[in-house]
Amino acid sequence: MSDKKVPSFPLLRDIGDKTAPVVICFVTGGMSHNWALIDQELADNGLRVVTFSARFTMGAPYESAWDGDKDTAHFFGEMAKAYDPAGPDFDAPYSFSDCVADFKVVMEQLGVKKAAVLGFSTGGMMAQLAITAFPDCVTCGVCCSSGYDPNAVGENLDEVKEKIAKNMARMANAPKAVSGDEASVVANRLALMGAMMDAEEPESEDPRAPYLTERAKDDFALGLVDYVGMGEPRSALAWALWTRDKGLEEHHRRMETNTVPTLLVHGKADPLVPFSEAAVLHKHFANSTLVAHEFGHILGPADSQKRLAAKIAGFIKMHATA
């Protein structure tokens, strides 16, 4: 467990009516590529939407607070030790439990006693943990594109394996975000948007592309860019340390008796976390509801996104006033 001092988090975004129900959102590497597609939709549906960056992603403002003396190559080297349960100790800057504890720090900064929590992908796993770790502080939770065990291999994928293989290839071949290069950051966000949502049309033709382009430019100007990508080593090490410390086992025990209303949203053609993992999560996560859509790792094209955002906002508002 990290003994580093918890920083004061600058809030990445705080939008919507300040008197509306609050949803606090974990922004992690993958979420940085798609969150701009939904936060304004949720605000337009009557929520106050607050996002903050988890410790291990999103650029220099957070990296400098933690491990400025450690370079990426060092952490990639440590990953070689991390996944052998009987292996040697490894250098992890913090655990998933540290990242989830920061949810409470943000609540204190906002001056709120209860809030909804939301996350996508890795952020969805963090939202799961916030639900089970802090049930008295969470009105409800929304976990998008996260599974029961992200390290598990999904079953019964024959019907979507061709799409999954195609989209994984698209993500692998996406333009890389290069430090100091705004154009590469924009190109990376647009390419990953299409691959993650299982889009057939060119990303430049998506009606949301202009908005996402402007948001990518804003993030670039603020230094809030995930340059390392899906192989981000601190993310993997935080997960590995938490798992080795039996955090996953404890989380699974808690979810069996969960009392916090929880909405699970998952794409049937998700190329990163197979839908079968969402089904397992729903089976074990007490008080959860599973909503499926037909697309990939994010919420699909514009019409699907709008429909699902309205459903998510309705769920949060219902439980904020329950």
Angstrom distance (rounded) from CA 288 to CA 279: 11
End-to-end, the C-alpha distance of the chain in Å comes to: 36
Per-residue pLDDT of 264-320, as tens digits, reads 999 988 877 888 899 999 999 999 999 999 988 878 888 888 999 999 999 999 999
Paired sense of beta strands 288-293 and 262-267, if any = parallel
The per-residue DSSP string of 11-43 comes to PSEEES-TTSPEEEEEE-HHHHHHGGGTHHHHH
> How many CB atoms sit inside 10 A of residue 17's CB?
11
pLDDT at 227: 60
Angstrom distance (rounded) from CA 206 to CA 183: 18
Per-residue tokens: 173: 């071949």
pLDDT at 156: 45
pLDDT at 32: 53
Between the CA atoms of 231, 84, 277 and 265, what dihedral angle is there, to the nearest 10 degrees? -40
pLDDT at 54: 67
Angstrom distance (rounded) from CA 192 to CA 194: 5
Residue ranges in the chain whose pLDDT is less than 50: 1-6, 59-70, 153-156, 230
pLDDT at 1: 37
pLDDT at 286: 98
**Helices within 1-121 (DSSP H only):** 29-34, 39-44, 60-66, 72-82, 96-110
**Cβ–Cβ < 8 Å for 197, 302:** no
- Note the pTM of the prediction, 2 decimals: 0.81
pLDDT at 68: 41
**Cβ–Cβ < 8 Å for 49, 149:** no
Residue reference for tokens 């949502």:
197
**Cβ–Cβ < 8 Å for 62, 36:** no
The per-residue DSSP string of 249-312 comes to HHHHHHHTT--S-EEEEEETT-SSS-HHHHHHHHHHSTTEEEEEESSSSS--SHHHHHHHHHHH
**Cβ–Cβ < 8 Å for 273, 279:** no
> How many CB atoms sit inside 10 A of residue 148's CB?
22
> How many CB atoms sit inside 10 A of residue 283's CB?
11
Per-residue tokens: 172: 């692998």
Helix (H) or strand (E) holding 162: helix 161-172
pLDDT at 46: 96
Angstrom distance (rounded) from CA 177 to CA 189: 8
